[in-house]
Amino acid sequence: MAARKTKSGGIAETIRTVVYAVLIAVGIRSFAYEPFNIPSESMLPTLLVGDYLFVSKFTYGYSRYSLPFGLPLIPGRVLEGTPERGDVIVFKLPRDNSTDYIKRVIGLPGDRVQVKGGILYLNGQAVPRRQIGDYEHKDDYGQKRRDRQYVETLPNGKSYRILERTDEADTDNTIEYLVPAGHYFMMGDNRDNSTDSRVRPDHGGVGYVPSVNLVGRADFLFFSHNGEARFWEIWNWPFAIRYERMFSTVK
């Protein structure tokens, strides 16, 4: 009998340990940091396909989308923090409220945003961009590309690199957008290869992003690989890792 009690107690203790571990993991993921990976080239050259990063959930406060499966347990947004122009943010796509997108905040509530000839305008003023060396990379088909690269500097002094294939694409010449209260205007750094707030939701785009849809700010990379090693090619794994990107901040 004593032996059976000990065995039963051991199983119960194991279950409790697993439950505690799960609750701690869910708590960290919901209220501190959540990992995400980058599947597309829309944020080149800042973020590469195969980057893995941590997003801080506490930076902008919490909403239902801070919780697993978007459980409607938090009304609106609590402990709300204000994004700054230039922050890189993960958010829920407004037209389905489930797909995770990652873009850069360009327009704050009340801002007027427009793109003319590839030049970004905020509140009627052109945002300076300075051309630097071309950016070489492989596209989605494995072909080598060379795109023009610029350093763009927002009015708050935030600078980052952007890519442009042309200044004549549809998204390089837009109407003037007025960002509604409680919403944000997002753009990808790979300007001609990004579906973002320049494209209306009914045309398959993002549109304005409500503050409740913000998940968190992309803070730092913890892993990155170039995708050239298949899962079973263990011997190639070390050569596919981008060691220089690991533990770097997202700027």
Residues classed as catalytic: 42, 103
Residue-wise DSSP of the chain: -HHHHHHHHHHHHHHHHHHHHHHHHHHHHHHTEEEEE--SSTTTTTS-TTEEEEEESSTT-B-GGGSGGG-TTS-S-BS-----TT-EEEEE-TTTS-SEEEEEEEE-TT-EEEEETTEEEETTEEPPEEEEEEEEEE-TTS-EEEEEEEEEE-TTS-EEEEEES-S-SGGGS-PPEEPPTTEEEEE-SBGGG--STTS-GGGTS---EEGGGEEEEEEEEEEEB-S-S-TT-GGGHHHHB-GGGTTPBP-
Residue-wise DSSP of 101-165: EEEEEEE-TT-EEEEETTEEEETTEEPPEEEEEEEEEE-TTS-EEEEEEEEEE-TTS-EEEEEES
